[in-house]
Amino acid sequence: MGMTMTQKILAAHAGLPSVEAGQLIEANLDLVLANDITGPVAIHEVEKLKKKTVFDKDKVALVPDHFAPNKDIKSAEHCKCVREYAKEHDITNYFEVGQMGIEHALLPEKGLIVAGETCIGADSHTCTYGALGAFSTGVGSTDMGCGMITGQAWFKVPSAIKFVLTGKPSKWVSGKDVILHIIGMIGVDGALYKSMEFTGDGVANLSMDDRFSIANMAIEAGAKNGIFPVDEKTIAYMEEHSTKKYTAYEADEDAVYDEVYTIDLGKLEPTVAFPHLPENTKTVRESGQVDIDQVVIGSCTNGRIEDLRTAAEILKGRKVAEGIRAIVIPATQAIYMQAIEEGLVQTFIQAGTIVSTPTCGPCLGGYMGILAAGERAVSTTNRNFVGRMGHVESEVYLASPAVAAASAVTGKISEPSELGL
């Protein structure tokens, strides 16, 4: 029986000629990640292990990004715990404030993960690296801690759903619209325990930043991982960012899929997920008048350079509507610097937004833009659960950077065409 991309990577890392869906395996890990929220719990847990040393100091990444720069005393203690552990164990890839960025934008940018590798991270959006053709999945702190010490993790080999992407998205449709559309179609548990494999001619029309956004939100459909094939764009990205050797795995022609969906990217429209689940999607045209209080452009889903370029293109020469708070958060220091060099930051500030240092901050209701009761935000983040960005009676509408920027200008959910773009 043929294998999917994910199954091939898992088989290779478990030292097996083949694996099939449902099989329980122990696989070797190429990268193990934690942040300032999940790291301290993992560090505390691994103290109970007999083995004390990490399996490979170059293959562990510790990134304080959620409540860093430290938002309060308790967060400062958490960051300190991670910092001290990194120092004690001589962890190569610890990123201090000044070098750090949002983990899932930072790690690919630093070249720490490439195609064909396996990665677990104590953060659900670790599935982002599937954009590079890696097997990458989110786990809890105990799994992460044990992976950090042993270099292995157990997996139930997932079955897969295939998404055949065709056509070319129109000007203001991005990877975010693609994944919101898919989640709206299959639901927040539509891919529960499974892989989402994205293939088809349309993939070539998606930039790497689009693919990162799509793979990033595979978890919002319940998936174990999302994965793209390796093509010229992937290779160019890896060659620019990494010196690691990569392996491109292709699914076998007779690989078995639970379901196959074909999506014409050319037919997709700017899409919004209404509160309080990412599956509650509508096109902007169907959304009606939804007045807002805040816009957030950033996060591990949409804080990359292309996202900022799109937002700046819309905000250039325009102003954020009166009474709207617009917050732009470049995901890493390199993206921030690039945005300065390209004049994007100037455009943002002239338009009336603020530009923050990299942090997960408002996405998970940490800080830097918390909502009060009754307030609404259009956000390029990935979750709109009850209370996600603040008060339990606040609302988050998930959208692309283009929709978020247009909404900042009009003060209601809007798409760029409403501004004559």
We find the least distance from the C-beta atom of residue 115 to other proteins, in angstroms, to be: 23
We find the least distance from the C-beta atom of residue 353 to other proteins, in angstroms, to be: 24
Nearer to other proteins, 45 or 269 (CB): 45
We find the least distance from the C-beta atom of residue 197 to other proteins, in angstroms, to be: 17
Nearer to other proteins, 141 or 287 (CB): 141
**Amino acid identity of 146?**
C
Nearer to other proteins, 126 or 380 (CB): 126
> Cis (ω within 30 of 0) for the bond into 17?
no
Nearer to other proteins, 197 or 415 (CB): 197
Nearer to other proteins, 78 or 233 (CB): 78
Measure the CA–CA gap between 368 and 377, rounded to whole angstroms: 13
- Phi-psi region at 352: left, alpha or beta (left = phi > 0; alpha = psi -120 to 50): left
Closest CA to 275 of 381, 417, 179, 414: 381
We find the least distance from the C-beta atom of residue 285 to other proteins, in angstroms, to be: 26
Nearer to other proteins, 9 or 389 (CB): 389
Measure the CA–CA gap between 216 and 299, rounded to whole angstroms: 10
Nearer to other proteins, 370 or 421 (CB): 370
Q: How many CB atoms lie within 10 A of CB 346?
A: 14
**Amino acid identity of 117?**
E
Nearer to other proteins, 47 or 322 (CB): 47
- Tell me which DSSP letter residue 320 carries: P
Nearer to other proteins, 188 or 314 (CB): 188
We find the least distance from the C-beta atom of residue 191 to other proteins, in angstroms, to be: 10
We find the least distance from the C-beta atom of residue 221 to other proteins, in angstroms, to be: 10
We find the least distance from the C-beta atom of residue 15 to other proteins, in angstroms, to be: 16
We find the least distance from the C-beta atom of residue 33 to other proteins, in angstroms, to be: 11
We find the least distance from the C-beta atom of residue 136 to other proteins, in angstroms, to be: 13
We find the least distance from the C-beta atom of residue 57 to other proteins, in angstroms, to be: 17
Burial class (CB in 10 A: 0-12, 13-18, 19+), 90: exposed
Inter-axis angle of helices 208-216 and 232-241, to 10 degrees?
90
Nearer to other proteins, 96 or 393 (CB): 393
Burial class (CB in 10 A: 0-12, 13-18, 19+), 97: middle
H helix count then E strand count, the chain: 13, 18
CB proximity list for 402: less than 8 A, separation 6 or greater: 172, 174, 270, 310, 311, 314, 415, 416
Q: How many CB atoms lie within 10 A of CB 306?
A: 18
**Amino acid identity of 375?**
E
We find the least distance from the C-beta atom of residue 260 to other proteins, in angstroms, to be: 22
Nearer to other proteins, 156 or 171 (CB): 156
Query: Pairing mode, if any, of strands 271-273 and 281-283?
Result: antiparallel
Question: Which chain residues interact with other proteins by CB under 8 A?
Answer: 24, 37-38, 40-41, 44-46, 48-51, 66-67, 71-72, 74-75, 78, 121-124, 126, 138-143, 146, 149-150, 154, 156, 188-189, 192-193, 219, 222, 224, 277, 364-366, 383, 385-388, 392
Contact between 95 and 66 (Cβ < 8 Å): no
* Ranges of H-type helices in 171-322: 175-186, 208-216, 232-241, 299-302, 305-315
**Amino acid identity of 245?**
K
Measure the CA–CA gap between 58 and 133, rounded to whole angstroms: 21
Q: Strand, helix or coil at 406?
A: helix
Q: Write out 140-152 in H/E/C secondary structure.
A: CHHHHHHHHHHCE
Contact between 410 and 418 (Cβ < 8 Å): yes
